[in-house]
Amino acid sequence: MAGSVIPLPEPSQPDLTFVRVTTDEQLRAYADLNSRAYGFPLEAGRDGLLGSTLWKNEVHAYLRVRDGVPVTCAATVEADRRLFVVLVATPPEWQRRGYTEAVTRKAHFEGARATGLTRATLHATAAGAPVHPRIGFQPDSPMQFYALKG
């Protein structure tokens, strides 16, 4: 999906707070949210993110926290003169509450504010696809994923 979705108003949701990912502890929570949302072992998500200075310093990665518990996450990173929305995830027990849309808007807002970019692109799962048109994205090409057997 792609869209000229910036500028967006700064999002807010009274029962949640936004936290920018800047520490290893926050990055672990980000990885764990993705693993839980997509059914991967926790270690699989952690292997790709933990210790990454890129993710703590250059990616505009955000957690949404409710009562001290991270419940959803989204990030944007500059790529080819646009923002690329990456690793948006909400575990099943927190879905369908508007949290994913709000954290995705926050990642867009902060990424655009930091870079001045007005275009964004993302890959959406079938479950997440209904969220993104509300933000301003339009589907532009289908995508399929494959895994090796065994």
Residues with Cβ within 8 Å of 112's Cβ and at least 6 positions away in sequence, in order, are: 6, 7, 8, 76, 83, 118
Of the pLDDT bands very low, low, confident and very high (cuts 50, 70, 90), residue 56 is very high
Name the pairing type of β-strands 60-66 and 17-20: antiparallel
Q: Which residue segment(s) compose the domain that 8 sits in?
A: 2-135
Whether residue 149 is contained in a domain is answered as: no
Whether residue 98 is contained in a domain is answered as: yes
Question: pLDDT at residue 85 above 70?
Answer: yes
Whether residue 140 is contained in a domain is answered as: no
Whether residue 146 is contained in a domain is answered as: no
Q: Which residue has the higher pLDDT, 7 or 79?
A: 79
For residue 2, what pLDDT is reported?
A: 46
Task: Give the predicted TM-score (pTM) of the model.
Answer: 0.86
**How many domains, in total, are found in the chain?**
1
CATH number at residue 107: 3.40.630.30
Residue 48, both tokens: 């790709």
Percent of the chain with pLDDT over 70: 89
Question: 10-51 pLDDT, tens per residue?
Answer: 666 677 899 999 999 999 999 999 999 999 999 999 998 999
Q: Which residue has the higher pLDDT, 80 or 130?
A: 80
Mean pLDDT score of the chain, rounded to an integer? Answer: 87
> For the chain, what is the radius of gyration of the CA atoms?
15
Whether residue 128 is contained in a domain is answered as: yes
Rounded mean pLDDT, 65-92: 95
Percent of the chain with pLDDT over 90: 59
Burial class (CB within 10 angstroms; exposed 0-12, middle 13-18, buried 19+) of 109: buried
For residue 146, what pLDDT is reported?
A: 72
CA atoms within 13 A on the CB side of 97: 16
Whether residue 141 is contained in a domain is answered as: no
Whether residue 142 is contained in a domain is answered as: no
Whether residue 129 is contained in a domain is answered as: yes
Question: 92-122 pLDDT, tens per residue?
Answer: 999 998 899 899 999 999 999 999 998 888 8
